[in-house]
Chains A and B, each alone.
Chain A
Amino acid sequence: MRTGVVVPSMVVPSMVVHGVLVGVALLAPLLGLYPVFLVKLLCFAMFACAYNLLLGYSNMLSFGHAAFFGSSAYVTGWLVTVHGCGAISGVLGGMAAATLLGAAVGAIAVRRRGIYFAMITLALAQLVYFVCLQATFTGGENGLQSIPRGSLFGIVDLGRDSTMYYFVLAVFVAVYLLIRRIVSSPFGHVLQAVRENEPRAISLGYAVDRYKLLAFVLSAAISGLAGSLKALTLGFATLSDVSQTTSGEVILMTLLGGTGTFLGPVVGAGIVVTLQEYLSDRVGAWVSVIIGAIFVACVTIFRRGIAGEIQSRYARSSGSSAADSSTAGSSVE
């Protein structure tokens, strides 16, 4: 994913795709889609994009990202309901908590790589889960209920679902652009160098662990933002937000959509959230079986994910004219 060498033939379709998506997103509530469902989808898409920053661009498989998503949801809910904070300060408070937690977990986890990194993040997230279960401010088994949405600076009331939707959509677009910017920045290029060949990056003099930690903290902060917005929209923060299941779901969204692609996590989140929404009352506990089966399918036959497959197909078909465009295109995983 060397975005520095974007092939011109990829730029135009990419702009078209993004333009269409923004258009659809703006019109979606008018098309009769339920805004709260759309906001939930956007929150998980943001969560998956944050996750992809880590898995896709730094090759760090975190199995504990629900810790940041959920703890931020809890802190936001607690600030807003107990301390009467506004929406903005509640969200910022939640993000701050997720960032600090990300720094602590990241500092321990980046000491090991690969599967050990995965197991460590999983274990530390379980620690966060038990703390949330036993702490008093989280409401234990019940979680926090009826969190008010409040308003933006006391002017725009977020109580209306469609207002909330456009607010979250604006935040999402900003975050999406920010992540694109991070990936194409010098910092992002170092991360990708580490992903491709860590020993070489070290021998070139990069303080690899520090770069990885920063990526981890950024990802945790954005995951926290997603969790906070989810808590505000749905009005509750529960143990499931910090659970292993949620950590697994965000991995699945990213994997299914395509790791290391910008739009992949959005696509993956769309599919997984929609599946859950429509299947959960129809098939009950089979949802877990279906999600497990998608996992197995993704890993065995479909490792590039949906967006990755489309990109590589497109690159192959359009790359027949110019040899270097096909190689550059196929590297856009």
Chain B
Amino acid sequence: MTTVFGVPLPAILGQLTLGLVNGSFYALLSLGLAVIFGLLRIVNFAHGAFYMLGAFAAYIGLQAFGMNYWLALLLAPLAVALLGAVIERLFLRRLYRLDPIYGLLLTFGVALIAEGIMRNRFGASGKSYPVPHLLQGVFDLGFMVLPIYRAWVVAASLTVCAATWFLIERTRLGATLRAATQNARLVQAFGINVPLLLTATYGAGVGLAALAGVLAAPVVQVSPLMGSSLVIVVFAVVVIGGMGSIIGAILTGVLLGLIEGLTKVVYPEASNIVVFVIMALVLIWRPAGLFGRE
């Protein structure tokens, strides 16, 4: 069997695909964070909680109504986006004139509430969500076997990321959004409903997080705390990439997922911390982040 550094090649490739799967989640989540931050100037600490709610929405849908995976993929993000829009209207709206740290603190509180409610209702243990029938099984590539579901997660996430990039950078709606990021008052003077745009942006951003949650449900355990440590990793990703750039958020997410996967092969003890170590090194070398322009 072929080995690299004494590790069998299939094991490395297996970890790399897992890393790619995680990287896709990082990309989806940091993309949503970047979009929200770009327009609302709010760092959404509840992002991990919305990811968790997305996964739970799929789980509850299946348990209570027998909702299938494909329908959940559509409805769960919509439901969570709606919840996000309500939270924006009720709470976040009051904070736009204040120091952005208040937004961080408020969404931290929202995350605690969401996680606490789910823990009371469903307990702390993980629930499993079945892989949909169509995506079960593996591709045999000759040099490795690739579970179809993993390939689907990566393809679906990257497609959604690309579509979001296209929407923001290449369409009229995206142009309005970017203009509002630069100067909201001027855009409002042109007759654009900026408050609605803010609500929709927050909804869309947390909807992306929920979508990541549904995609993750069959590969991780669905549990109330599944998002609470993930959001910290995503913050580190965002610090490394710099929040100013959509492409930067996506690339950094995927790249760090891959690095994390490789670390699992080479030095498993460090796989939890490698992202944070890289963040520290990047900050020493380039304080504004890889794609940042502060």
Q: Which residues of A line the B interface, CB within 8 A?
A: 59, 61, 63, 108, 111-112, 114-116, 118-120, 122-124, 126-127, 130-131, 133-134, 244, 248, 251, 255, 284-296, 298-300, 303
Contacts and interface: CB of A to CB of B under 8 A. Distances in A.
B28 interface: no
B239 A119 contact: yes
Interface stretch (B5-13, B54-62, B196-204, B268-276): B268-276
A244 B49 CA distance: 15
Contact of A303 (B100, B102, B277, B287): B102
Contacts of B101: 61, 114-115, 118
Interface residues of B, number: 45
Contacts of B103: 115
A303 B94 CA distance: 12
A209 to B, nearest CB: 11
Interface in B86-123: 91, 94-95, 98-106, 108-117, 119-120
A295 B279 contact: no
Contacts of B111: 292
25 contacts: A61-B105, A115-B100, A115-B103, A119-B43, A120-B279, A123-B279, A124-B276, A127-B273, A127-B276, A248-B112, A251-B105, A284-B120, A285-B116, A288-B116, A289-B120, A291-B109, A291-B112, A292-B112, A292-B114, A293-B113, A296-B106, A296-B109, A296-B110, A299-B102, A300-B94
B280 A124 contact: yes
B64 interface: no
B235 interface: yes
Contacts of B208: none
B228 interface: yes
Contacts of B279: 120, 123-124
A300 B116 contact: no
B112 A289 contact: yes
A114 B235 CA distance: 14
Contacts of A298: 105, 109
A112 B238 CA distance: 13
B3 interface: no
A126 B234 CA distance: 12
Given A120-B239, A127-B277, A108 B283 contact: yes
Contacts of B280: 108, 124, 127
Contact of B113 (A111, A124, A134, A296): A296
Nearest to A255: B105
Contacts of B269: 134
A300 B91 contact: yes
A191 to B, nearest CB: 17
A122 B109 contact: no
A112 B108 CA distance: 20
A130 B116 contact: no
A55 to B, nearest CB: 9
B214 interface: no
A223 B182 CA distance: 40
B212 interface: no
B115 A288 contact: yes
Nearest to A247: B108
Nearest to A60: B101
Nearest to B288: A112
Given A108-B283, A118-B101, A124-B280, A296 B91 contact: yes
Nearest to B98: A303
A291 B105 CA distance: 12
Interface string B119-133: 110001000000000
Contacts of B233: 123, 126
Contact of B95 (A244, A288, A292, A299): A299
Nearest to B117: A289
Contacts of B114: 292
A130 B106 contact: no
B272 to A, nearest CB: 4
